[in-house]
């Protein structure tokens, strides 16, 4: 009787998950990444329209105009029950031109923001910007499709990037050469950089006080309620804190940023900076752009390494 025992066979694991995973950004991801960022900007338009339409002043205007239309067209209610439904015709007719006017006024604001964002250096020079270490990016792949992305600016946190596109179609910034001149200047000011031996850890070439900025965080709307925003944030924060040895991470949010993204940021420890904190920050932060008819402004949020490590312990991330 043989006493030898068979060793269990361990199945070989694939080099890369086939379903859901986070990976570094590639140059061929440019179109999809820009699409996700653009969709995140333009989805604020219907939210802005709703803010105007549901404003009490706008509601009173619609009801008042509707009342006069009902009087003019003899749709006022009488003793018949059906007449109470016809009384709604006036407000409905009055709301149609108001809805169109609000859309007509606010859409150019969001189109201009979209053009300025797409024309900035981190997206115009997508491949070169990431490969030179000025930005690090990751994407979330679900069933072989990119459904989320995050871009982290290592070199110019809090600073306003130059945009080569104007607010309207066909407009081009005459100072677009500043992008190339600025990069050439950085290379020429220290020629010894070429002689340095590259290492696995990126070197921070500017004085940012150990702070980096998340420039873009975008997830396709059907997947925002999942753990995808958290997966992207944790990957970016782990790289920033543990690999890049940074101390804090900041992010500038638009006023109409989705609630799912904001909740994910809060789960990993991000807190909103007050106006006084922004003014007294370690270096000058870019002023959030106003958007829409009423000039809604976004905000800055920040998280430190210590807070993130405490928050991460209580987060279950899908692997």
pLDDT of residue 14: 42
Sorted by sequence, the CB contacts under 8 Å of residue 298 that are 6+ apart come out as 252, 253, 254, 255, 257, 288, 289, 291
Q: Could you report the per-residue pLDDT of 45-54, keeping only the tens digit for each?
A: 999 999 999 9
Structure tokens at 284: 């000058």
Please name every residue paired with 165 in a beta bridge, in sequence order, or none if there are none.
172
Dist CA 203 CA 190 (whole Å): 14
Structure tokens at 260: 């799912």
> Beta strands 135-142 and 145-153: pairing type?
antiparallel
Structure tokens at 4: 């030898």
Please compute, for residue 21, the number of CA atoms within 13 A of its CA located in the half-sphere on the CB side. Answer: 10
Q: Return the SS3 of 299.
A: strand
Three-state secondary structure of 125-153: CHHHHHHCCCEEEEEEEECCEEEEEEEEE
Dist CA 69 CA 83 (whole Å): 15
Q: Return the SS3 of 21.
A: strand
Per-residue pLDDT of the chain (319 residues; tens, 9 = 90+): 445 455 444 444 344 445 788 998 888 888 999 999 999 999 999 999 999 999 999 999 999 998 888 888 877 776 666 667 777 888 888 899 999 999 999 999 999 999 999 988 888 877 755 565 656 889 999 988 999 999 998 888 888 888 887 777 766 776 545 445 444 444 444 444 343 333 333 434 445 678 899 999 999 999 998 889 999 999 999 988 877 678 899 999 999 999 999 999 999 999 999 988 888 888 888 888 889 888 899 999 999 999 999 888 877 544 4
pLDDT of residue 125: 77
CB 289 within 8 A of CB 120: no
Dist CA 149 CA 25 (whole Å): 8
CB 134 within 8 A of CB 20: no
Q: How wide is the angle at C-alpha 184 spanned by C-alphas 179 and 185, nearest 5°?
A: 100
Helix ranges, the chain (H): 30-42, 44-53, 56-72, 83-86, 89-118, 121-124, 126-131, 177-189, 228-238, 259-267, 275-279, 305-313
């Amino acid at each position: 009787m043989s006493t030898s025992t068979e060793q269990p066979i361990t199945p070989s694991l694939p080099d890369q998950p086939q379903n859901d995973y986070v990976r570094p950004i590639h140059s061929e991801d440019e179109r999809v990444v820009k699409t996700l960022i653009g969709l995140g900007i333009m989805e604020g338009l219907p939210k802005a329209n709703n803010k105007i339409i549901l404003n009490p002043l706008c509601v009173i205007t619609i009801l008042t105009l509707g009342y006069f239309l009902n009087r003019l067209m003899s749709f006022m209610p009488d003793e018949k029950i059906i007449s109470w439904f016809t009384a709604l015709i006036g407000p409905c007719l009055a709301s149609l031109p108001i809805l169109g006017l609000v859309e007509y006024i606010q859409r150019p604001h969001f189109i201009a923001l979209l053009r300025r964002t797409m024309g900035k250096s981190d997206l115009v020079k997508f491949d070169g910007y990431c490969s030179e270490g000025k930005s690090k990016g990751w994407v979330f792949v679900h069933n072989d499709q990119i459904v989320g992305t995050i871009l982290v600016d290592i070199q110019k946190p809090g600073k306003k990037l130059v945009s080569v596109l104007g607010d309207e179609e066909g407009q081009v910034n005459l100072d677009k050469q500043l992008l190339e001149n600025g990069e050439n200047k950085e290379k020429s000011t220290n020629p010894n950089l070429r002689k340095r031996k590259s290492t696995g850890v990126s070197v921070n070439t500017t004085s940012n006080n150990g702070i980096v900025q998340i420039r873009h965080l975008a997830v396709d709307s059907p997947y925002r309620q999942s753990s995808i925003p958290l997966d992207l944030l944790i990957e970016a924060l782990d790289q920033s804190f543990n690999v890049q040895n940074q101390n804090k991470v900041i992010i500038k949010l638009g006023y109409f940023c989705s609630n799912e993204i904001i909740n994910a940021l809060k789960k990993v420890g991000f807190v909103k900076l007050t106006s006084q904190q922004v003014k007294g920050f370690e270096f000058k932060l870019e002023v959030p752009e106003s958007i829409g008819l009423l000039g809604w402004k976004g905000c800055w949020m920040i998280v430190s390494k210590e807070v993130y490590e405490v928050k991460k312990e209580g987060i279950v991330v899908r692997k």
